[in-house]
Amino acid sequence: MSQQYPPQTQQPGNGEPQQPGSNGLATTALVLGIIAVVVSFIPVVNVVVWPLAILGLIFGAIGLSKAGKVHKGKGAGITGLITSAVAIIMFFAMNALFFSAVDKASEELDKSYDSTTVGDGKSKTGGAKDSEVMKDFKVTKCDVVTGDFDIKEMAVHVEYVNKGDRRYSYLVEGEVLADGKKVGDFMSTAENLAKGQKFTDKDAGALVNADEIKDAKKLECKTIEASRTDF
């Protein structure tokens, strides 16, 4: 009769080694870090780098810590940490370059915007010389007329001729003088005149007290400020 032996159980550490456990956090950190790096090269859109990179750093640190216990995921954890950190650096670098380029383009656009303002014969901003602007317009009428209900009112006409080399819009502001005394202001505009185009503004706004001009012996419309803009 054969002798029966109880089944032997394999003790830990004897026989075949245990299979290493999984380290999903390290793998997740690696994936998040790679995505964050790719997205970081796209200005403005790369704002999503922040949650991706922060999670990548957290998962990478935890995964790296876990790698010592499960003997798996150390490389993925380290790579996840590095790529997440690089993504954050690239976020700042790419946005700095992008907004710097935008500012430079804006400055160039401002330079191409031709704006000249003159007043009392002196240029107040850069651009064309005073004479180049002043010769483009003249006040052709500055007189008292009888309006509705026989009310005396001021009539100011400004004639424009665009003598520049492109389209311009004009704004002219001035004072109304009665016998040498200022009694009001006027303003005239001409919009988007082509090169050589003529235009007469017969509705220049004049804010004048009728009582101060009805008996005036001499009326003057003096230009105080004029601007020419090229869009």
Q: Is residue 76 part of a domain?
A: yes
71 plus 125 within the same structural domain: no
Q: For 66-94, give one letter per residue: b (16+ CB within 10 A) or e.
A: bbeeeebbbebbbbbbbbbbebbebbeeb
159 plus 200 within the same structural domain: yes
Residue 158 phi/psi, 5° resolution? -125, 125
71 plus 94 within the same structural domain: yes
Q: Is residue 4 part of a domain?
A: no
Give how far Cα 50 sits from Cα of 33, 47, 94, 191, Å: 11, 6, 14, 49
Output the pLDDT for position 124: 35
91 plus 120 within the same structural domain: no
Output the pLDDT for position 126: 35
98 plus 163 within the same structural domain: no
Q: How far, rounded to the nearest angstrom, does the alpha carbon of residue 110 sit from its chain's CA centroid?
A: 12
Alpha-carbon dihedral sign for residues 25, 28, 30, 35:
negative
Q: What is the pTM of this model?
A: 0.44
Q: Is residue 7 part of a domain?
A: no
Output the pLDDT for position 193: 92
143 plus 222 within the same structural domain: yes
Q: Is residue 17 part of a domain?
A: no
* Domain span holding position 186: 115-230
Per-residue pLDDT of the chain (231 residues; tens, 9 = 90+): 455 555 555 555 454 555 556 788 889 989 999 999 999 998 888 888 889 999 999 998 998 888 878 888 888 889 999 999 999 999 999 989 998 888 888 777 655 544 444 444 333 333 344 567 888 999 998 888 776 766 777 889 999 999 888 899 999 999 988 888 888 899 999 999 999 999 999 888 788 877 777 778 888 888 888 888 886
Q: Is residue 81 part of a domain?
A: yes
Q: Is residue 59 part of a domain?
A: yes
Output the pLDDT for position 194: 92
34 plus 102 within the same structural domain: yes
Q: What is the number of domains present in the chain? A: 2
167 plus 191 within the same structural domain: yes
Output the pLDDT for position 197: 94
How many CB atoms within 10 Å of residue 196?
Answer: 10
Q: Of the candidates 111, 126, 144, which is a domain's last residue?
A: 111
Q: Of the candidates 82, 111, 140, which is a domain's last residue?
A: 111
Output the pLDDT for position 69: 84
33 plus 59 within the same structural domain: yes
Q: Of the candidates 77, 111, 145, which is a domain's last residue?
A: 111
* Coil vs helix vs strand at 178: strand
51 plus 135 within the same structural domain: no
127 plus 91 within the same structural domain: no
Q: Is 183 left (phi over 0), alpha (psi -120 to 50) or beta?
A: alpha
Q: Is residue 15 part of a domain?
A: no
125 plus 223 within the same structural domain: yes
Q: Is residue 93 part of a domain?
A: yes
CATH code of the domain covering residue 132: 2.60.40
